[in-house]
């Protein structure tokens, strides 16, 4: 089994939801991990989008020039179907897919900053879990200089644009700069973006687990939606609801596993639309890394 680390960056807010939730003021919340409360994109959502329209028909329904690609997609994603032998006989050609995807966990969360517009924050817990999984899957990932800030402390880079003086001010929290984490930031930049992008290095912030958890709870976009009467263009009674979305610029990470070391079906799609509300621009992701 071969593994590859894949990263997805949100180009627009992402609503990978769980359905209606009557226990909160948010009618349509995003999916979250039960143990941490961190937003997550289920693996089934990613695999479903990658598979969409691929290998869902029987052999005789394809044109000859389409069959080879369909057979490869079936091998990758799996297939439940039959092949016609005679008018009344069919051969079962169902098979399990060889491609396995893990849930896409939140790796970097954008948070509004007093300086530099916004920061891309992460925390030791997130990075330790990612590194543990990468090492277990032999994905060839290392993270030098992974320190653990406490309380309202933060590590930034030497080229940081989010530090007015000796503090980083994120939303309503003032963080004291504890040190410089160039080694860690450069390693993440290489793994995620493929090069040391100033865009990332200038905004990187390693915060404590508690601060990251706080912003995962309070830092999501909340969007008010209404439904209008088609003739009067006024709001239908009771048709006001609130949707939650992970903000644009967030970075998720997942792992792809393949018995045949074949990741073509994943790598050929640099952009995906994930989750609901696609018709109003939600859920557009671009693939990073994993080349």
Q: For the segment 4-62, what is each residue's pLDDT rounded down to a tens digit?
A: 889 999 999 999 988 776 677 888 899 999 999 999 999 989 988 888 766 556 666 66
- CA–CA separation, 172 and 161 (whole Å): 18
Q: Is 90 within the bounds of a domain?
A: no
Select the more confidently predicted residue: 55 or 83. Answer: 83
Average pLDDT over residues 195-211: 91
130's CB contacts (< 8 A; 6+ apart) are 105, 107, 141, 253
Q: Is 186 within the bounds of a domain?
A: yes
Q: Is 276 within the bounds of a domain?
A: yes
Specify the 3-state DSSP secondary structure of 34: coil
pLDDT (0 to 100) of residue 204 = 97
Q: Is 78 within the bounds of a domain?
A: no
Q: Is 191 within the bounds of a domain?
A: yes
Select the more confidently predicted residue: 204 or 51. Answer: 204
Select the more confidently predicted residue: 33 or 88. Answer: 33
pLDDT (0 to 100) of residue 8 = 95
Q: Is 56 within the bounds of a domain?
A: no
The domain total for the chain is: 1
The one-character DSSP state at 283 is -
pLDDT digits (tens, 9 = 90+) for 229-249: 877 777 787 678 889 999 999
100, with CB counted inside 10 A (0-12, 13-18, 19+), is middle
Q: Is 87 within the bounds of a domain?
A: no
The one-character DSSP state at 280 is G
Domain that holds residue 144: 2-50+100-288
Specify the 3-state DSSP secondary structure of 18: coil
226's CB contacts (< 8 A; 6+ apart) are 235, 236, 239, 240, 241
Q: How would residue 76 be classed by pLDDT, with cut points 50, 70 and 90?
A: confident
Average pLDDT over residues 135-147: 81
pTM attached to this predicted model: 0.87
- CA–CA separation, 114 and 130 (whole Å): 29
Chain mean pLDDT for the chain? 86
Torsion of CA 113, 150, 210, 40, to 10 degrees: 80
Tell me whether strands 173-180 and 153-156 are parallel, antiparallel or unpaired: parallel
Least confidently predicted of 82-91, 169-178, 184-193, 236-245: 82-91
Tell me whether strands 271-273 and 284-288 are parallel, antiparallel or unpaired: antiparallel
Q: Is 73 within the bounds of a domain?
A: no
């Amino acid at each position: 089994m071969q593994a590859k680390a894949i990263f997805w960056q949100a180009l627009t807010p992402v609503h990978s939801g769980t359905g209606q939730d009557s226990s909160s003021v948010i009618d349509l919340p995003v999916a979250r991990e039960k143990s941490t409360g961190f937003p997550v994109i289920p693996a089934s959502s990613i695999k479903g989008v990658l598979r969409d329209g691929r290998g869902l028909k029987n052999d005789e329904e394809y044109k000859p020039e389409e069959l080879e690609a369909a057979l490869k997609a079936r091998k990758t994603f799996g297939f439940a179907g039959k092949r016609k032998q005679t008018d009344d006989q069919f051969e079962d050609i169902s098979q399990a897919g060889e491609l396995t995807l893990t849930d896409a966990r939140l790796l970097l969360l954008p948070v509004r900053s007093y300086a530099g517009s916004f920061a891309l924050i992460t925390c030791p817990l997130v990075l330790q879990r990612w590194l543990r999984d990468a090492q277990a899957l032999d994905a060839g990932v290392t993270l030098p200089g992974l320190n653990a800030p406490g309380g309202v402390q933060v590590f930034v880079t030497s080229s940081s644009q989010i530090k007015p003086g000796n503090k980083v001010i994120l939303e309503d929290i003032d963080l004291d700069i504890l040190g410089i984490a160039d080694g860690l930031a450069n390693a993440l930049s290489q793994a995620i973006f493929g090069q040391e992008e100033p865009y990332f290095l200038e905004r990187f912030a390693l915060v404590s687990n508690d601060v990251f958890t706080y912003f995962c709870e309070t830092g999501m976009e909340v969007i008010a939606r209404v439904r209008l009467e088609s003739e009067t263009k006024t709001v239908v009674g009771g048709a006001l609801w609130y949707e939650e979305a992970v903000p644009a610029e967030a970075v998720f990470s997942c792992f792809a596993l393949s018995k045949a070391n074949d990741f073509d079906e994943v790598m050929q799609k640099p952009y995906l639309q994930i989750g609901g509300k696609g018709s109003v621009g939600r859920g557009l992701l671009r693939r990073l890394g994993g080349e």
